[in-house]
Structures are given as C-alpha cells and as structure tokens.
Amino acid sequence: MLSIAEVSTKAYVGSKVAIRGWVYRIRSSGGVTFVVVRDSSGIIQCTARKNELQPDVYDSIASLGIESSVEFHGTLKEDRRSPSGYELAVDSCRIYQKNDVFPITKDQGEEFLLDNRHLWLRSREFTSILKVRSTIFRSFADFFYENGYYQVQTPFMVSTAVEGGSTLFKVDFFGEPIFLNQSAQFYLETMIYSLEKVFTIAPSFRAEKSRTRRHLTEYWHAEAEVAWIDNNEMMDIEERMIYYIISRVIEDNEDDLRMLGRDPDLLKGMKPPYPRIRYSEIIKTANSIGLALKYGDDLGADEERQITMKYDRPIFVTNYPKELKPFYMPVDPENPGEVLNHDMLAPEGYGEIIGGSQRIWNYDEMMQRIREANLDEKAYYWYIDLRKYGSVPHSGFGLGLDRLAMWIMHLDNIREAIPYPRTIRRTRP
C-alpha cells in the first residue's frame, strides 16, 4: 500500500487507491463527513458521503474520534480546497481501532504534554521534529563515513571520569562503585592508534542540577578523535561537518523546517569559515555589552546567549585559561596560561554546541597535569599508557546532538528537541 505522499500526485487522479493512517481532524456537514488522515508522510482529506455508502459504513466513519486508526479505499480527486490539494472519495473502509476522546486537545500546558509525551509525539509538529532529528543523526554519520572515518562503540559504565567528578552518576556494579559515562573521548583516543579516524554516537549522562533551557541529564553525544591533526585542523573539520548537516536538513526537511517556523534560507547563510575568537577577546566583547565578566570567569548559559545574539553564524571561542579546562588539554606554547582548545557557539542565543581540543600526547606533560589535578594515577593507567607506546599528536571534539537539533529547528527549549527528555525533575514516561 502506498503512503499518503505517494498517492497524492496527478498520476493517481481518477484511480482507485487505498491509504491508511490515523484520524487527524474530522467534521460532518449536510450528510458529508470530512476526515483528514495522517501518516508519516503527510495528510490527505477523505470524504465520505452518506448517499453513496451503506448506512452502517457511513455512521462508523462519522463517529470516528481523533487518532482512530483507519484504512480508506476510494477514488483520488484533485481539490484545491483540501489541505494537500487532493481528496479521496471514500467507497469502503476498515477501522482498526476507534477512539472516543483523545486525551490531548488544544491549549494543553507544557507539563501535561511532557506527561503525555508518548501521545504528543503524534502531533504534526513533533513528527517534523523527529524527521529533522533523524536527518541530523544520519548526516553526522554520513559526513564521517564519506571522509574515511570508522564508527566505533565504547562503554557506558566506566571507572574513570573525563570531566568533573561532581557531575557523575554513580552505579553499584556488583559491589564496586562505577559511573555512567559522560564522554567516550578516552576510549576513542585508544582507537586512533589502530584506526586513526574514529567517531561514535551514544548517550551521555551528567548529574547536573541545571534547569536551563539547554540542559539534559541524559543527552545524545556525537564524538570524534583524529590522529595527526592539531586544534586548528579540528576546527576546520567541525565547521565543514556542521554545514554538511545543515545542508542535508535543508535538502531533506525543508517542509518540516517551515512547519516549525524555521526559515531554511536563514540556515543557508551558515556557510563556513566561522570566526575564531580567543577567549580573552570574548571577555572584552562581553564587557562591551554590559556583562560583568573578568578574565578567568567561565562562560555560562546566559553569557553565551547574549554574546551569540551578536553573530549570524556559529563562532569558535579558543584558548581558554588553563584553569577552566580539563587536564588532558595541552598548554599553548605561545601563551602558557591558555590551552589549545575551542568551543563552538551557535548563533541566535543558542550557545555552546561543541567542545573540542588538541589532546596532550607527551607522557611527561600528561603526568604533570594529572598530578596538578590531584587525580589517581592508578585509575588512569590505561590512558597514561597511550602516551608511552607510539603516541602521536591528535585532537577531538564532542557535539551535543540535541543542542544542535534545538538550534537548527529554532526551538525554545531542548526538551522539545528530544523524544523523551530526562532532566533533574523528569524520568517519565
């Protein structure tokens, strides 16, 4: 059986066709019932006329509720007044399940819709969100496959932390305390010595008690590590990757973007290269717009929002103070107080979507930084080993796919960008 989008063409006008899906809207007037049916591909108006159908068939159609699952057979006609420009004149039907009252109606509150996310996913708006999200995930992988990378898998349960220990979820693993992974970075680094260029897509977990519009406790993380490249070359790859994803979304999901109120033409203007601005310069920019930041302060969500409102495309913020960043980022030899790192901030107030850096590859420097951070050398023995046996310069990054989706679709809250958001206050459904 063809989809609604496949049927809704001039080629089928006047032909007998069948469609199946769910009732999106229904109304009756003067012996005619108009049923708008949706499937994953679109919507079509189906018309049932009382004088052309058996009484029991017409009555069963006229009494359908929203989200009833149906199959209609009939003749396809052109009709400019219908939502898709085509109409199905029904001559028979099959009702899979008839609903009386669907729980979700107009003007429901945000918390109600979150409690009923399993049903709200059926809305046309969320269908578009899911389609764009699918393209983002697929095109991220395609970009790296096309550039000779290998996709790999890493553990979710770990004993060593990539980021700060205060935001780890602890798990009792048969009496041994371990943690849910925050990043695949360390494990990806082990694989560059065999595959050179690797990436992964996996959930990450952070026990942050943040209630901002861009924080989740479980989020989808796309990460890559590459041998033989430096921080600048890593940024080159990232900006090409971001525009590749944007271009694919425009190509595959233009109608979905418009459904969500996002202008595809605005996204077309996000072509690289993207500005690369040192942290010290960003502090000056922040001060010029009234933000009371001083050198050594980290950029929070509000500061990033205000700063990125000044830009019409993503920017890189580079060379953060050493004290603000993790131990594995190397010191800039030309500026010893800074590290060779970068964050990509999305414009329009969305802020950080990527964090990346060159990685320390020298054994002595790594040991010094581990000791400065008061970390347990034994816990990191395997990570240290990478610097003992054939170490090479390398760089990597982590991209928050949910944040990227939020920005591309111009959504107000990251909870809109993921099917089932997990936050400090929500674990259901």
- Residues 265, 340 within the same domain: yes
**Looking at residue 48, what DSSP letter applies?**
E
- Residues 12, 154 within the same domain: no
Q: What is the pLDDT of residue 403?
A: 98
- Residues 274, 353 within the same domain: yes
Q: Which of 70-74, 93-97, 167-171, 355-359 is predicted with the least confidence, judged by mean pLDDT? A: 167-171
Better pLDDT: 366 or 161: 366
Residues 6+ apart with CB under 8 A from 305: 349, 350, 351
Helix (H) or strand (E) run with residue 188 in it: helix 185-195
At 189-202, the pLDDT tens digits run 999 999 999 999 99
- Residues 92, 175 within the same domain: no
Site of tokens 């708008």: 36
CATH of the domain at 90: 2.40.50.140
Domain count along the chain: 2
pTM score above 0.85: yes
- Residues 44, 159 within the same domain: no
pLDDT band per the 50, 70, 90 thresholds, residue 164: low
Burial status of residue 29 (CB atoms within 10 A of its CB: 0-12, 13-18, 19 or more): exposed
Whether 391 maps to a domain, the answer reads yes
- Residues 92, 125 within the same domain: no
Whether 31 maps to a domain, the answer reads yes
Site of tokens 């952070």: 206
- Residues 352, 204 within the same domain: yes
pLDDT band per the 50, 70, 90 thresholds, residue 160: confident
Full residue range of the structural domain in which residue 21 is found: 4-97
Whether 129 maps to a domain, the answer reads yes
Whether 238 maps to a domain, the answer reads yes
**Cβ–Cβ < 8 Å for 73, 90:** yes
- Residues 122, 67 within the same domain: no
Whether 281 maps to a domain, the answer reads yes
Q: Quick check: 163 pLDDT over 70?
A: no
The residue out of 97, 128, 162 marking a domain boundary is 97
Q: Quick check: 404 pLDDT over 90?
A: yes
- Residues 247, 326 within the same domain: yes
Q: What is the pLDDT of residue 209?
A: 84
- Residues 53, 177 within the same domain: no
Residue type (1 letter), 36 = V
CATH of the domain at 262: 3.30.930.10
